[in-house]
Amino acid sequence: MDTRNCQTDFTPERVIAGENCSPALNRYAFCSAIPESQYLQSRVAVIPCVGVTVSSHTASGGGFNNVKYLAIRPSTGQPEAVYLALHYLDAPIEYYANLTRLEELAKARNVLVLVPQAPSAITSLPIAGLPLPEDIRILSRWPTQASQPVESYLRLLDAVVASARGLFNAQNIPLYASGLSNGAPMAYFYACNRPQNVDAILAVAGNQQAANIAACHPSQPVGVVIVHGTADVIASYSGLPGDLSMPVPQIYAAFRRLNQCATGSDRQATLTRTSGTTRIDFTGPCLNARRVILAATLGDGHNWPGDDQAPLAGLPIDLFGATKDVIDATIQGYDLMRYAAGN
């Protein structure tokens, strides 16, 4: 007997069936919200959560040496999957883990979460020309164009995943990758160039250029989940002129084609709360049972839906636009990746 429901395994079908799929039922159910008194501490350290262990490690690959990454995992038992979290531009990984509630994800879904710090875009002191110490981070960023050294960054991520799989006996379990804003193009690159490694990706509030999609030729299908606010003023949902960025629905259509999804297989679910509406377009099973999903958060701005901004949490707006929180990109986003992977 299948005892799963929308709180343990969020899917568009369960939304259509009328189940209670409110993201609020899982939010902070596994780890407490960050107290306002710890907001400053949350910028530099992962705030503890009972039942979750956080450790810091390094990995080298792609010409990058001793790159720091966090490993966030349940304190007992073996993880069921590995989750690679790619941060936004210049984000400290400790704060990013707090903001996107990665401890709560690790505990709620029994996953090993890896949060690598992107290498610095500035490698020397601007005036003296001296190399920066390896633990100094200035403009930590992921590549966004195919003309940039994408393969070097992919090899770094390969090294991070290999390091953690070895350290935590996490071989032969699925790998999922997510990216927010600057991390989203890197998640797309991962799907395009490492389809044999990753089961599904989640791209949140991030664009991709048409040239990058044109260069995407995965050897096998990958599940793709896109969560994007239609009022995003940083990464426009409608795209930007020229090849600056594609309209988000066209990215959905491109991966639909790459995954060889059948014409006419698409369906739509509507998730509604008092704060707003999320429209979920999703394909039927494509090649190898993969799916492509687009969750458009209507009127939402540039954010990670369901994030924890401490003193700003619960406010309907922040520096980058409206915050509707109709869907939870953390736990529900992970469930959608499982669904898109066919797992």
Taking the alpha carbons of 209, 214, 218, 224 in that order, is the dihedral positive or negative? positive
| pLDDT at residue 26 in the model | 81
Residue 193 · residue 148 · CB < 8 Å: no
In this prediction, the residues of the chain whose per-residue pLDDT falls under 70 are 1, 121-138, 309-322
| pLDDT at residue 124 in the model | 40
For residue 131, give every residue at least 6 positions away whose Cβ sits within 8 Å of its Cβ, in sequence order, or none. Answer: 123, 124, 125
The tokens for 279 are: 């429209």
| pLDDT at residue 322 in the model | 65
| pLDDT at residue 314 in the model | 53
| pLDDT at residue 316 in the model | 55
For 4-54, how does the pLDDT look when each residue is reduced to its tens digit (9 = 90+)? 899 999 999 999 999 999 988 788 889 988 888 888 888 899 999 999 999
| pLDDT at residue 132 in the model | 46
Residue 38 · residue 32 · CB < 8 Å: no
Residue 341 · residue 200 · CB < 8 Å: yes
To the nearest 10 degrees (0 to 180), the angle between helices 183-193 and 150-167 is: 80
For residue 292, give every residue at least 6 positions away whose Cβ sits within 8 Å of its Cβ, in sequence order, or none. Answer: 223, 224, 225, 252, 255, 256, 259, 261, 282, 283, 286, 340
| 52: Cα separation from own chain's centroid | 20
For 200-234, how does the pLDDT look when each residue is reduced to its tens digit (9 = 90+)? 999 999 999 999 999 999 999 999 999 999 999 99
Q: Which domains does the chain have, with CATH numbers?
A: 12-341 (3.40.50.1820)
| pLDDT at residue 318 in the model | 58
The tokens for 324 are: 């509707």
Which uninterrupted H or E stretch holds 96? helix 93-99
To the nearest 10 degrees (0 to 180), the angle between helices 331-341 and 102-109 is: 50
